[in-house]
Amino acid sequence: MKKIIIVGGVAGGATAAARLRRLNEDAEIILFERGEHISFANCGLPYYIGETIKQREKLLVQTVEGMTNRFQLDIRTQTEVVKINPIEKVIEAKNLKTGVKYVESYDTIILSPGASPIIPSFNGLEKANNVFTLRNIPDTDRIKSFVDTNKPQKATVVGGGFIGLEMAENLVERGIEVTLVEMADQVMAPLDKEMAAIVHEHLFEHGIQLLLKDGVKAFHENGQKIELNSGKIIGQDIVILSIGVKPESKLAKEANIAVHERGGILVNEYFETSQKDIYAIGDAIVINDYIAKEETFIPLAGPANRQGRMVANNILGKKEPYLGTLGSGIAKVFELSVATTGLNEKVLQSKNKEYEVIHIHPASHATYYPGATPISLKVLYDKNTLNILGAQAVGKNGVDKRMDVIATAIRGNLSILELAELELTYAPPFSSAKDPVNMVGYVASNIIDDEMETIQWYEVDELVNNGATLIDVREKEEFANGAIEGAVNISLTELRNKLPELDSTRPVYVHCQVGLRGYLACRILKNHGYQAINVDGGYKTYELAKRWK
């Protein structure tokens, strides 16, 4: 009878335990969990604080009793594994209620200890009594009870990642005025800047004060004041620190398990660590980026759950290699859905990849059917292989669907051109006869076939400053409502008639609102012998990006 010890009883660990038992009724499975709860809904915690999730027990996906009964597990909560001795194949566990330590032998260990919130040693932090991080149920209880009892009026959320944004939203739901401080020049690092701009705009509309390119220097007055790097002082009644998480790899390191310099546990494709019979999964490990084929760290629940199942399979003799993580992610930010998969442009630039970019702004479904809203969709592909490298989407409806389709296309090795051929379900309440994802394939085919040349929003100003001709092909009223400096308005409708006015010896840059009419104009121009270049994503991408620069 095999004796398997699992360290960590939530997403990865609990899933591994359940799968192990399903595959094998005899194994002795001991699940150690430092905290009081196992199998809780990490991802639901912000929404309980915001009272969208009303009952606390909903957060407990499984209880110790339920799991013990169903899966015949030996679950030991409030018990921390404090040491692993891989030579003697024993661990040392500490009962956190009694303080008693004891030794337990093992045949196999699964480490799924997760990642913990990063808390820098800010000056004054130790004296602050209103600063919280959010990882588990006790954290949640603390924050909720602080909000319920102290009724804070102002909150500062430090860090604009998805947990920071979810907390910002949920504090606003509780009637609190929120300031968001973010060191980078944008929130949501997986997005590129012009896509993040849409989120910035939306946060602004919801009354959140956004302080970008600034960070916490010190806490003052027990946390009532924060001094920022810029020298600015901001005041608040509660602070949420959400500047990222770091893999919990101390236990592993001390057991001489190889660990990445940035902290994650190193594993091979079967989740084996450098120590025999010790496996690791979830937020604590370094994984392979599915696209970049490089080591990376992607702390998400989907991968943790899948890895939990796979590690159980591997331990019990099914050899299943893990092919890497795409990093598909999504967050609700008030009415917006913000989703990404694969690599973004920043990363591709830093790698000097030969990539191409497409921005489109289609409707979530047929515009003649009520409720359609725009989706801003950016897709990146490899100029040489035409492989899809990554995608980003922001919008109110239908964002998750398009990102999942693209993530599936990547996994199925479809080229950017093959997106045009996808046969997606269509009826007016759900999509358009040409789905946004198909449209990306169309636009790509035009670029690849040299039917359309494009430039990006960040290339426009310099061109115009250097005297390039930029034509805004929108209608007069649209132009009057705001336009790119230096652009000349010749609407698509008039374009054919005004061709004689244009200098055919110089390239003509063209833009419209979202890119479609600009493309139509380019086709007319090219067919008449001009070199025409479309501003990808149109004024919409340009203007928002510039506004939130």
Ligand X SMILES: CC(C)(COP(=O)(O)OP(=O)(O)OC[C@H]1O[C@@H](n2cnc3c(N)ncnc32)[C@H](O)[C@@H]1OP(=O)(O)O)[C@@H](O)C(=O)NCCC(=O)NCCS
Ligand Y SMILES: Cc1cc2nc3c(=O)[nH]c(=O)nc-3n(C[C@H](O)[C@H](O)[C@H](O)COP(=O)(O)OP(=O)(O)OC[C@H]3O[C@@H](n4cnc5c(N)ncnc54)[C@H](O)[C@@H]3O)c2cc1C
> Contact residues for ligand X (CB under 6 A)?
10-11, 14-15, 18-19, 22, 39, 41-44, 61-62, 301, 305, 309, 360, 433-434, 439, 442-443, 446, 514-516, 519
Which of 135, 142, 174, 306 binds ligand Y (CB under 6 A)? It is: 135
Which residue number is nearest to ligand Y in terms of Cβ?
282
Give the number of other Cβ atoms within 10 Å of residue 152's Cβ.
18
Q: Which of residues 423-482 bind ligand Y (CB under 6 A)?
A: 426-427
How far is Cα 402 from Cα 537, in angstroms, rounded to an integer? Answer: 17
Which of 112, 179, 325, 344 binds a copy of itself (CB under 8 A)? It is: 325
Q: How buried is 349 (Cβ within 10 angstroms: 0-12 exposed, 13-18 middle, 19+ buried)?
A: exposed
Using the minimum distance from each CB to ligand X, give the nearer residue, 68 or 469: 68
Residue 111: name the closest of 135, 134, 91, 133 by CA.
91
Beta carbon of residue 313, minimum distance to ligand Y (angstroms, whole number): 17
Beta carbon of residue 439, minimum distance to ligand Y (angstroms, whole number): 16
Q: Does 119 bind ligand Y (CB under 6 A)?
A: no
- In the list a copy of itself, ligand X, ligand Y, none, the entry touching 533 (Cβ below 5 to 8 angstroms by class) is none
Q: Does 81 bind ligand Y (CB under 6 A)?
A: yes
- In the list ligand X, a copy of itself, ligand Y, none, the entry touching 328 (Cβ below 5 to 8 angstroms by class) is a copy of itself
Give the number of other Cβ atoms within 10 Å of residue 41's Cβ.
18
Annotated catalytic residue, options 43, 125, 218, 464: 43
- In the list ligand X, ligand Y, a copy of itself, none, the entry touching 163 (Cβ below 5 to 8 angstroms by class) is ligand Y
Q: Which tokens belong to 369?
A: 């059917």
How far is Cα 141 from Cα 106, in angstroms, rounded to an integer? Answer: 35
Q: Which of residues 34-73 bind a copy of itself (CB under 8 A)?
A: 41, 43-44, 47, 52-53, 58-59, 61, 69-70, 72
Q: Does 43 bind ligand Y (CB under 6 A)?
A: yes
Q: Does 524 bind ligand Y (CB under 6 A)?
A: no
How far is Cα 487 from Cα 157, in angstroms, rounded to an integer? Answer: 40
How far is Cα 438 from Cα 443, in angstroms, rounded to an integer? Answer: 9
Q: Does 4 bind a copy of itself (CB under 8 A)?
A: no
Q: Which tokens belong to 277?
A: 């019979």
Q: Is 522 a catalytic residue?
A: no
Binding mask 304-343 for ligand Y (x = CB under 6 A): x---------------------------------------
Beta carbon of residue 3, minimum distance to ligand Y (angstroms, whole number): 17
Q: How buried is 456 (Cβ within 10 angstroms: 0-12 exposed, 13-18 middle, 19+ buried)?
A: middle
Q: Does 326 bind a copy of itself (CB under 8 A)?
A: yes
How far is Cα 36 from Cα 77, in angstroms, rounded to an integer? Answer: 5
Reduced 3-state DSSP string for 25-39:
CCCEEEEECCCCCCC
Residue 268 neighbours by CB under 8 Å, 6+ apart? none
Q: Which of residues 345-374 bind a copy of itself (CB under 8 A)?
A: 366-370
Selected range binding a copy of itself among 247-255, 323-331, 469-477, 479-487, rule: CB under 8 A: 323-331
Q: Does 113 bind ligand Y (CB under 6 A)?
A: yes
Q: Does 523 bind a copy of itself (CB under 8 A)?
A: yes
How far is Cα 68 from Cα 71, in angstroms, rounded to an integer? Answer: 5
How far is Cα 47 from Cα 155, in angstroms, rounded to an integer? Answer: 16
Query: How many residues in the chain?
Result: 549
How far is Cα 146 from Cα 72, in angstroms, rounded to an integer? Answer: 38
Q: Which of residues 246-265 bind ligand Y (CB under 6 A)?
A: 248, 251
Beta carbon of residue 332, minimum distance to a copy of itself (angstroms, whole number): 5
- In the list a copy of itself, ligand X, ligand Y, none, the entry touching 369 (Cβ below 5 to 8 angstroms by class) is a copy of itself
Q: Under a CB-based contact definition with an 8 Å cutoff, are residues 242 and 161 in contact?
A: yes
- In the list a copy of itself, ligand Y, ligand X, none, the entry touching 360 (Cβ below 5 to 8 angstroms by class) is ligand X
C-alpha dihedral over 77, 81, 6, 263, to 10 degrees? Answer: 120
Selected range binding ligand Y among 22-30, 50-58, 132-140, 387-395, rule: CB under 6 A: 132-140
The DSSP annotation for 499-524 comes to GGGS-TTS-EEEE-SSSHHHHHHHHH
The half-sphere exposure of 371 on its side-chain side, counting CA atoms within 13 A, is 7
Q: Which of residues 252-311 bind a copy of itself (CB under 8 A)?
A: 290, 300-306, 309
Q: Does 497 bind a copy of itself (CB under 8 A)?
A: no
Q: Under a CB-based contact definition with an 8 Å cutoff, are residues 144 and 55 in contact?
A: no
Reduced 3-state DSSP string for 88-102:
CCEEEEEECCCCCEE
Residue 6: name the closest of 70, 413, 19 by CA.
19
Using the minimum distance from each CB to a copy of itself, give the nearer residue, 420 or 545: 420
Q: Which tokens belong to 402?
A: 């398009």
Using the minimum distance from each CB to ligand Y, give the nearer residue, 13 or 390: 13
How far is Cα 64 from Cα 461, in angstroms, rounded to an integer? Answer: 60
Q: Which of residues 414-473 bind a copy of itself (CB under 8 A)?
A: 414, 418, 420-431, 433-435, 438, 442, 449, 451
Q: Does 112 bind ligand Y (CB under 6 A)?
A: yes
Beta carbon of residue 422, minimum distance to a copy of itself (angstroms, whole number): 6
Q: Does 341 bind a copy of itself (CB under 8 A)?
A: yes
Which of 18, 42, 376, 548 binds ligand Y (CB under 6 A)? It is: 42
Using the minimum distance from each CB to ligand X, give the nearer residue, 48 or 122: 48
Whole-angstrom CA distances from 182 to 165, 187, 209, 237, 257 are 11, 7, 11, 18, 34
- In the list a copy of itself, ligand X, ligand Y, none, the entry touching 135 (Cβ below 5 to 8 angstroms by class) is ligand Y
Reduced 3-state DSSP string for 10-21:
CHHHHHHHHHHH
Residue 538: name the closest of 517, 507, 508 by CA.
517
User: Which residues bind to ligand Y, rule: CB under 6 A?
Assistant: 7-8, 10-13, 32-35, 42-43, 45-46, 80-81, 112-114, 134-136, 163, 248, 251, 282-284, 299-302, 304, 426-427
Active site (catalytic) residues: 43
